[in-house]
Amino acid sequence: MAKRVSLWNAGCPVARALDVIGDWWSLLIIRDAFDGVRRFNEFQSGLGIAKGMLATRLRDLTERGILETAPASDGSAYREYVLTEKGRGLFLVIVALRQWAEEHLYRPDEHRSLLVDGKSGAPIARLELRSGEGRTLEWSDTRVNKGVFDAM
Amino acid sequence: MAKRVSLWNAGCPVARALDVIGDWWSLLIIRDAFDGVRRFNEFQSGLGIAKGMLATRLRDLTERGILETAPASDGSAYREYVLTEKGRGLFLVIVALRQWAEEHLYRPDEHRSLLVDGKSGAPIARLELRSGEGRTLEWSDTRVNKGVFDAM
DNA sequence: CAGTATCCCCCCTGATACTG
DNA sequence: CAGTATCAGGGGGGATACTG
């Protein structure tokens, strides 16, 4: 973020997304926020990030509308950082990363945290790509329409 | 990648995934690979990345099993970089990023590329989180089972 | 606890030149 | 075209000290 060259205007949503949350710390902060972390020091000690960096990241994410600050829920004098609706929209990105890592980055016997259905406790299903009508698609069944979003 | 502090062993699949593909260029290279880019110079001119950086990134991604090299398909003397099965597994990560950006980072009238069903040309469906039995879930319906060993 | 302010190093990254 | 080598800078990011 705040990098020399921005791909914000590249017309590719992937590039624009990475322009906003594509640095190494942001998604980890967001992941922690999904796990219920709200306070500065919780983020700091949990991530092992330098305080200055964390302050910068929290400010950036807030400016970009992914986090917002709220008065402390426990009545203390400090702010809490919570995900906005826009921020919560990143949940599927986190899940996709998690599922890929589970399938390709772990040995079967390795211990890891697991995302489960809150009620049943059963693991959630693999994300699937579907057509508008609900057919399951592979990557090779898709194609990218370059900028053909004509001026309606 | 190759950063001072690695979260590889953190027991959180998200952290481990970011450790491997969490830098800014990697996902853009992978996105281009999904779009059919295979040659060094195609990546270089398409991304505007410095040649040295690109060489490093391609090497890293190859070492990590996300890309592999193949002899040029057109008979020329050079290598091509193509996604492995592990690399192709990142497609849903790209799609999730794309969908989030489309929903939260674009004005309705803004020009952008579009991922469509290769046959019908219709846009693909929004990814959905589902329980093992197929029920649609929200973030708030889930919980993370911390691994046995590591905190996080 | 929740930051801000400094210092400073290292490495990411770009630019350029060189090679096969 | 497909890289490698080298140099230079800027800022990411850690450590520490300081403040309310």
Model pLDDT for residues A17-35, shown as the tens digit of each residue = 999 998 889 999 999 999 9
Q: Among partner residues B18, B91, B101, which is closest to A24 by beta-carbon distance?
A: B18
Comparing alpha-carbon positions, the chain A residue that sits nearest to B10 is A112
Write down the mean pLDDT value for chain B. 89
Pairwise CA distance, residues B95 & B91, whole Å: 6
Tens-digit pLDDT profile for residues B62-100: 999 999 999 887 777 788 999 999 999 999 999 999 999
Contact A112 B144 (CB under 8 A): no
Contact B12 A31 (CB under 8 A): yes
Interface check for A64 against chain B (CB to CB < 8 A): the answer is no
Q: What is the pLDDT of residue B149?
A: 42
- Once rounded to an integer, what is the mean pLDDT over residues A42-68? 93
All structural domains of chain A:
13-88 (1.10.10.10), 91-141 (no CATH)
Contact B17 A106 (CB under 8 A): no
**Alpha carbon of B59: minimum distance to chain A alpha carbons (Å):** 18
Per-residue pLDDT band for A147 (boundaries 50, 70, 90) equals low
Residues 6+ apart with CB under 8 A from B13: A97, A98, A99, A101, A102, A105, A106, A112, A113
| Three-class secondary structure of residue B32 per DSSP | helix
Q: What is the pLDDT of residue B80?
A: 95
Lowest-confidence pick of A49-53, A113-117, B9-13, B90-94:
B9-13
pTM (two decimals): 0.92
Tens-digit pLDDT profile for residues B119-144: 999 999 999 999 999 999 999 999 99
Q: Among partner residues A16, A104, A142, which is closest to B86 by beta-carbon distance?
A: A104
